[in-house]
Amino acid sequence: MDDLRDRYLAAVAGAADEAALEEVRLAALGKKGEISLKMRELGGMSPEDRQIAGPKLNALKDEIASALAARKAALADAALDDRLRTEWLDVTLPGRPRREGTIHPISQVMEEITAIFADMGFSVAEGPQIESDWYNFDALNIPAEHPTRTEMDTFYMARPDGDDRPPHVLRTHTSPVQIRAMQHQGAPLRVIAPGRVYRSDYDQTHTPMFHQLEGLAVDRDLSMANLKWCLEEFVRAFFEVEKAELRFRASHFPFTEPSAEVDLRCSWKDGQLKVGEGDSWMEILGSGMVHPKVLQAGNIDPSQFQGFAFGIGIDRIAMLKYGIPDLRAFFDSDLRWLRHYGFAGLDVPTLHRGLSR
């Protein structure tokens, strides 16, 4: 055993790299290694001889294993020292110019709209994107036979067979947030609810997922005049023009009564939109006075309070303001497009210095 010990300790010390060290380990302690074979011979010895040879072999095995581990650590340290000598960084060299982050136009427009309505006293309300059938439809006075409740327009969540609970949907608008805000805050209140919504549609001007903003104001003496002023101020601030003229057309939405589509006076010259001038009208949003049944669903007494609401397609007005021709480009993840239409990460929209400057 002394010969084995001396020979293998010398081999461990002389191993020049980890590959040579592994060969020594296999020769000594591998399944067919010399010391491993000696350990197997213990079974054929007499009990007296085994009591003498066993502890010596175990001690030899442990000593060789310790020597192997120490040599491996030493080789690793030496390799690291070599790397540190060759791989170094001169911190006095000029650094690479950092690329400033770019904000997506949708995020930019959301921030712009929030800044405008915050100046009018509106707070931001949020809600889940997976909504119950009641919040998404019933609470908003949308009847069961309404076409928007079909699977042609709405994404319904899958349910196990035999599950009789009310279905859940990917919300088709952010109006359910209005119900939750009324239930949570009561009246009076003023909130906007921006966020993602989902509908089963896809073409140049429609995508299955897009962004909407719902606005809601509830108080004791609100009227369509308040709604008109609020929307005029929004359009003037958003498009950054001195004057904005709106036209209200009678329409029908289940959740408002009376309801109105809102058109914006504009002109198209050389493919460029100019707001507040010209002879053309462009529909930009829907609005109206909140239906009494919707107030009741929000736990607000319609005999004491009334309110107005409006809904804006964030993607659409972003396209109008910044000249983006195809809605689908918002979701293509093309960095070239983002660098062209994007906004500097630190340019926070504010009313006093201009939203998009």
* Residue 270 domain boundaries: 107-344
Whether 356 is covered by a domain: the verdict is no
- Mean pLDDT within 245-256: 91
Question: Is this model's pTM higher than 0.75 or not?
Answer: no
pLDDT value of residue 24: 85
C-alpha to C-alpha distance for 349 and 111, rounded to whole angstroms? 6
Which pLDDT does position 304 carry in this prediction?
93
Whether 104 contacts 333, CB under 8 Å: no
Average pLDDT over residues 248-254: 91
Q: How many CB atoms lie within 10 A of CB 76?
A: 11
Query: Is the pLDDT reported for residue 124 higher than 90?
Result: yes
Clarify whether residues 238 and 311 are in a common domain: yes
Q: For residue 307, what are the CA distances in angstroms to 89, 182, 183, 246, 257?
A: 65, 11, 15, 20, 10
Nearest by Cα to 28 from 51, 5, 49: 5
52 domain-assigned: yes
Q: Is the pLDDT score of 355 beyond 70?
A: no
From 90-104, 114-128, 198-212, 216-230, the region with the lowest mean pLDDT:
90-104
On whether residue 177 sits in a domain, the answer given is yes
Instruction: Calculate mean pLDDT across residues 99-119.
Output: 86
Element (H, E) at 250: strand 246-253
Distances (CA, A) of 282 to 236, 320, 323: 15, 10, 15
Same domain, 203 and 270: yes
Split at pLDDT 50, 70, 90, the class of 356 is: low
Say yes or no to pLDDT of 147 above 60.
yes
Same domain, 64 and 207: no
- In sequence order, the β-bridge partners of residue 310 are 215, 287
**350 contact partners, CB below 8 Å, separation of at least 6:** 115
* Residue 165 and residue 68 share a domain: no
Residues 117-121: contacts with CB within 8 Å, 24+ apart? 117/192, 117/215, 117/234, 119/237, 119/351, 120/190, 120/230, 120/233, 120/234, 121/190
Helices 105-119, 314-322: inter-axial angle, 10-degree rounding: 100
- Domain assignment present for residue 357? The answer is no
CATH of residue 292: 3.30.930.10
Q: Is 318 found in the same domain as 175?
A: yes
Residues 79 and 141 in one domain: no
- Return the structure tokens found at 164: 């009789």
- Per-residue pLDDT of 70-85, as tens digits, reads 988 998 888 888 888 8
In a shared domain, residues 183 and 268: yes
Q: Give the mean pLDDT of 112-126.
A: 92
Both 78 and 153 in a single domain?
no
In a domain, 101, yes or no: no
| 181 part of a folded domain | yes
Domain end point (choices 86, 118, 137): 86
Round to whole Å and give the CA distance between 247 and 340: 33
Same domain, 209 and 291: yes
Are residues 267 and 195 both part of a single domain? yes
The Cβ of residue 172 has, within 10 Å, a number of other Cβ atoms equal to 21
354 occurs within a structural domain: no
Q: Which residue has the tokens 């309505």?
A: 117
Buried b (16+ CB within 10 A) or exposed e, 271-288: eebebbeeeeebebbbbb
Does residue 319 fall inside a structural domain?
yes
Strand, coil or helix: 19: helix
Beta strands in 80-121 (DSSP E): 102-103
Highest mean pLDDT among 42-56, 143-157, 252-266: 252-266
Mean pLDDT rounded to a whole number for the chain:
85
> Do 198 and 130 share a structural domain?
yes
The residue with greater pLDDT, 313 or 60, is: 313
| Residue ending a domain, choose from 56, 86, 116 | 86
Q: How many domains does the chain have?
A: 2
> 64 with 201, same domain?
no
